[in-house]
Amino acid sequence: MEMVYEWFRTLYQETGINLPFLYDEYDRNRMIDGLFTTIKLSLVCLFFSIIIGVIGAWLQGSSFKWTRRFVSGYIQLFRNTPPLVQLYFFYFAIGTLLPRVENDWGGQSPIFGSFAWAAISLSFFAGAFNVEIFRSGIEAVPKSTVEAAEALGFSKLQIYRDITLPLAFRVVLPALNNNLVNLVKTTTLAYAIAVPEMLYEANQIWSDNVNVTEMMVFLLLAYFVLVGILVSGMNRWERAMKIPGYG
């Protein structure tokens, strides 16, 4: 490892290409923290946006008109507004309305920090799309298959969980894949409320080192690799879920 670090230090000295997080421990830790924050934020949002999608799609099939209206209202709101504005709305509008709690040093701090607000905001943002994606998959499940389950005595919830959802999932995986890739890319917006994710930490580093070009190239590649890993994971999952002789 030391040799690699040395190599990048020499690279900087000889050519002026400055990648301090590859030879300077302090910057390296900042970058690693940023990477892990991005991964953590992505995973949390992936998880909750799928949960929102699954529950929202279930509620959209409800027989209560107002439940369905509420869900479509939610979808409209989050689809038709910019995610950055949503993020600001949660952080600055709702965040300041919530009561504050006493922190470890006896001061006052908000209940949710910037990471939590980014997670909430982005989960709702991607969740709105996921509801529609799951809904379309559910509509693709033949009514006759559902009827067979009804005739066997399955309850509505059992049908949704055991029949409709697993079948819908397979249909929508490509669309879901797309939306989740978008979600990971959108996590960079959390920069705007100072969540220490990759873009934010890169910014810190280029402010200290005046190496904007190098950091931009690195960021681009880092996201390229990160999203690439997600996509190949999703593709593998898609293949694993494939049913012999179906679709």
Q: Residues 158-197: x/- map of binding to other proteins (CB under 8 A)?
A: x---xx--xx--x---------------------------
The answer to whether 97 contacts other proteins (rule: CB under 8 A) is: no
Q: How far apart are CA 107 and CA 180, in angstroms?
A: 38
Site string for other proteins, 125-154 (x = CB under 8 A): -----------------x-xx-xxxxxxxx
- Name the strand (E) or helix (H) holding 110: strand 108-110
**Angle (CA) 98 34 90, round 5°:** 20
155, 207, 232, 235: residue in contact with other proteins (rule CB under 8 A): 155
245 binds other proteins (CB under 8 A): yes
Min dist CB 127 to other proteins, Å, is 25
Closest by CA position to 38, among listed 186, 176, 238: 186
Burial class (CB in 10 A: 0-12, 13-18, 19+), 135: buried
Binding status of residue 246 toward other proteins by CB under 8 A: yes
Write the CB contacts of 185 (distance below 8 Å, at least 6 apart in sequence). Answer: 223, 227
Number of residues located near other proteins, criterion CB under 8 A: 22
Q: Minimum CB separation from other proteins for residue 50, in Å?
A: 18
Token digits for 211? 């190496």
Q: Could you list the residues that contact other proteins (CB under 8 A)?
A: 142, 144-145, 147-155, 158, 162-163, 166-167, 170, 243-246
